[in-house]
Structure 1
């Protein structure tokens, strides 16, 4: 058996490298989940690579109407062979359909076949006869020596009860949930005839380009790198406080109340890297690119100039549009294209729109940071956009334990004045200043002040 690619963005990755040929794969899911789109897109991508493919459609529409509907997708390939069967006929007389289908396959000798959907076939039969028919269909498929996709409108419990799940080598399940912010689409592998597929739920989108899948973040058992090389944080005197700068490949969490300058710390970090020739990415859920450029310019940071040189890229995702897996895929793509070495994520509370369970949020961020390190990225995360006086670490304690460096920014009342203060809570592999540190922000950026030893 050989492995063949599906050509669908993200699907080959979660399948562990593609689909074994020959094999039979069930694509199941609830109504509107994208089963047909996934199946036809897979056929068209194979056809573009020179394979002979056949789309068998159970419908009341003509072949011309089916082809016209499919041509609205960018992936559509004219060489796709289409054969239609009247859906009411296959419900009553599936055996005649099976004989005719066998003749079509014998004539075309396709490399891949999609039967869409398989669930209405023999629907009018008693359950025992339907089961016998499915075994007959499976025997026929075994002689085709092809990759065969079957689609079915089925719940997960239906899949578990159906005889189809017994005869196929793989089961791909698609689901769609209608939420206030739109549709949430997910895909998972319930069964596959190869051991290295990625388990769990993955998200995907459907557009005129077809389906694009965003694999769930996973980590590999890579060897942990020992910190050695220091890099400039970009903040005057801060490098002294941490005894020489941030470690390369480290992760830093800047947590603080509203107005403490968290984003400015991140901008200094990214701009300094770009000045030193290390490309950087700013992923923002809060401020738009225009707002960041204006803010940076007011503080003397040449953010826009460095963008124009290709040394910095801003990726803006409004909170209601955050898709955690899609976001990570986009970051990976840009890191590879730019050869980026630094990344700023502002603010991780944006993931609250996606993850109701803090444990799941923690797992996502932990895997994301591990991926960054594997890609040679030194990262800085911002958190705590909350009112002054609140405990900014309360909701991020699970995340703060994941990072290498933790810095807490807060307002403190000293005499009759409100001062900005910094605490370096931890820094793995290095000594650091233990006292509360005062700092100021003016038109030239951040200025580290005196130690507040008596507070």
Structure 2
């Protein structure tokens, strides 16, 4: 069997490469989940590729009305063949529809067919007769030698009980959860005969351009070798205290209270790399690109000039809008596009809006770390979700247990003065300074000072 692309971003990856021809695919879900959009988008893609496609639509609308609705999508193709059937008639007399549809398919010989929806067909029959009709429909479909999509309005319970899931080669289930400011849409493959598909739930979005899927993160197998090269912030005194700097491909958590300069350390890390020919990415959940550029310029760092040379890219997503899988996919696209070697996520509390519990957040961040290591990227995670005056040595800090390096930052009151101090709590595989180190920030940037006693 030939494998055909669905033409839907992300879906081929989930399905293991595409859809075999011939095959029958059920796209199920509750109303409003995007079943029709998914099917029509794939038909229109195939039409653009020169395939013959047929849209079979049991409806109360005319063909011209259906075309008018579909034309609102950017992907719509005028060459799409549409055949409408009165929905009340197909509920009572589906055999007449089946005969007419068989003639239409014999005349057109389509490569792909969408029956949308299939669930009302024969709805007026007793269940036993309806099952027999569905087997007849399946026999006809087997003679078409085409990719046949069928959509169905079903809950998960109804899907499991339906005869349609038995006759389909593949079953895709769509779901949605309407949040206060956005809709959380997910897709999962229930079965897909003959293909090695990616299990689990995958996020997707629907817009005028169609459906865009973001496959869940696939964690790469850890590399057996350890990169012994060093990198850092471009601050000589600090790197000396680190035993020579951060190891390449390592992950670092920079945690501390408000006002300790965590963002500035992150910018320093990225700019130092860019100046050395190592492109970097700044992922921010709170500040806009303009705010980041302005803040960096106050300390002598020209982020805009580095962006123009494609040595730095800024990705900003509001916490309330974050989709974790989409965000991960965008990060990977930027890494590949500029050959990034450094990345900063500022700050990871932004993921709180994307996950219902801390364990899911930790799992996602752990997966990101593995991806960055696999792509030869040194990562810096910033965490600022600690109350002012709290002791970072005893505070629960997300991902602190599985990052390679942990640097804690705090404000100290010493003789009526506020001093900034950092503590290198751990560095895997490296000797490092274990005393409290003072630092200060002025218009020229970050300066490392003397050792302090924590009183």
When structure 1 is superposed on structure 2, of 271-280 and 394-403 the one drifting more is 394-403
Superposed displacement of residue 57, structure 1: 0.7
**Separation of aligned partners in 1, 2:440 and 2:222:** 41
Q: Any conservation in 1 of the 2:182–2:321 contact (CA below 8 Å)?
A: no
Residue 355 of structure 2 corresponds to residue 345 of structure 1: no
Corresponding residue for residue 440 of structure 2: 440
Corresponding residue for residue 416 of structure 1: 416
Corresponding residue for residue 30 of structure 2: 30
Corresponding residue for residue 402 of structure 2: 402
Superposed displacement of residue 449, structure 1: 1.0
**Separation of aligned partners in 2, 1:8 and 1:308:** 32
Superposed displacement of residue 415, structure 1: 3.0
Corresponding residue for residue 116 of structure 1: 116
Superposed displacement of residue 385, structure 1: 3.6
Corresponding residue for residue 197 of structure 1: 197
**Within 5 A, what are the aligned runs for 1:41-52?**
41-52=41-52
**Separation of aligned partners in 2, 1:302 and 1:226:** 33
**Separation of aligned partners in 2, 1:335 and 1:182:** 27
Superposed displacement of residue 390, structure 1: 2.5
Superposed displacement of residue 386, structure 1: 3.4
TM-score in terms of structure 2 length: 0.97
1:73 and 1:25, CA in 2 relative to 1: closer, same or farther beyond 3 A? same
Secondary structure of 1:124's aligned partner: coil
1:392 and 1:179, CA in 2 relative to 1: closer, same or farther beyond 3 A? farther
**Separation of aligned partners in 2, 1:27 and 1:258:** 48
**Within 5 A, what are the aligned runs for 1:122-201?**
122-201=122-201
Q: Residue by residue, what CA displacement relative to the aligned partner does 1:333-354 show, whole Å, maximum 9, x if unpaired? A: 1111122111111011000011
Residue 51 of structure 2 corresponds to residue 63 of structure 1: no
Corresponding residue for residue 368 of structure 2: 368
Q: Any conservation in 1 of the 2:362–2:398 contact (CA below 8 Å)?
A: yes
Superposed displacement of residue 294, structure 1: 1.4
1:62 and 1:454, CA in 2 relative to 1: closer, same or farther beyond 3 A? closer
Q: Any conservation in 2 of the 1:29–1:155 contact (CA below 8 Å)?
A: yes
1:265 and 1:331, CA in 2 relative to 1: closer, same or farther beyond 3 A? same
Corresponding residue for residue 328 of structure 2: 328
Structure 2 residues without counterparts, runs of 5 or longer: none
Superposed displacement of residue 454, structure 1: 7.2
**Within 5 A, what are the aligned runs for 1:219-230?**
219-230=219-230
**Separation of aligned partners in 1, 2:452 and 2:395:** 27
1:319 and 1:393, CA in 2 relative to 1: closer, same or farther beyond 3 A? farther
Q: Residue by residue, what CA displacement relative to the aligned partner does 1:250-302 show, whole Å, maximum 9, x if unpaired? A: 11110110001110110000000110111111110011111111111111122
When structure 1 is superposed on structure 2, of 228-237 and 156-165 the one drifting more is 228-237
**Separation of aligned partners in 2, 1:166 and 1:394:** 56
**Separation of aligned partners in 1, 2:217 and 2:262:** 27
Q: How many residues align?
A: 455
**Separation of aligned partners in 1, 2:6 and 2:395:** 42
When structure 1 is superposed on structure 2, of 37-46 and 302-311 the one drifting more is 302-311
Structure 1 residues without counterparts, runs of 5 or longer: none
When structure 1 is superposed on structure 2, of 396-405 and 107-116 the one drifting more is 396-405
Q: Any conservation in 2 of the 1:29–1:173 contact (CA below 8 Å)?
A: yes
Over the residues paired in the alignment, what is the CA RMSD in angstroms?
1.5
Deviating above 6 A after TM superposition, structure 1's stretches of 4 or more consecutive aligned residues are none
**Separation of aligned partners in 2, 1:232 and 1:63:** 64
**Separation of aligned partners in 2, 1:278 and 1:75:** 38
Q: Any conservation in 2 of the 1:280–1:341 contact (CA below 8 Å)?
A: yes
Superposed displacement of residue 234, structure 1: 2.1
TM-score in terms of structure 1 length: 0.97
1:242 and 1:107, CA in 2 relative to 1: closer, same or farther beyond 3 A? same
Q: Residue by residue, what CA displacement relative to the aligned partner does 1:90-139 show, whole Å, maximum 9, x if unpaired? A: 00000111111111111111111110000000111111111111111111
**Separation of aligned partners in 2, 1:412 and 1:454:** 8
Secondary structure of 2:314's aligned partner: strand
Q: Any conservation in 2 of the 1:58–1:84 contact (CA below 8 Å)?
A: yes
Secondary structure of 1:159's aligned partner: helix
Secondary structure of 2:384's aligned partner: strand
Corresponding residue for residue 278 of structure 2: 278
1:38 and 1:396, CA in 2 relative to 1: closer, same or farther beyond 3 A? farther
Q: Any conservation in 2 of the 1:383–1:396 contact (CA below 8 Å)?
A: no
Superposed displacement of residue 398, structure 1: 4.7
Superposed displacement of residue 233, structure 1: 2.0
Superposed displacement of residue 396, structure 1: 5.3
**Within 5 A, what are the aligned runs for 1:6-21?**
6-21=6-21
Q: Any conservation in 2 of the 1:8–1:42 contact (CA below 8 Å)?
A: yes
Superposed displacement of residue 68, structure 1: 1.7
Residue 293 of structure 2 corresponds to residue 293 of structure 1: yes
Corresponding residue for residue 80 of structure 1: 80
Secondary structure of 1:260's aligned partner: coil
**Separation of aligned partners in 1, 2:234 and 2:165:** 58
**Separation of aligned partners in 1, 2:205 and 2:139:** 35
Secondary structure of 1:172's aligned partner: strand
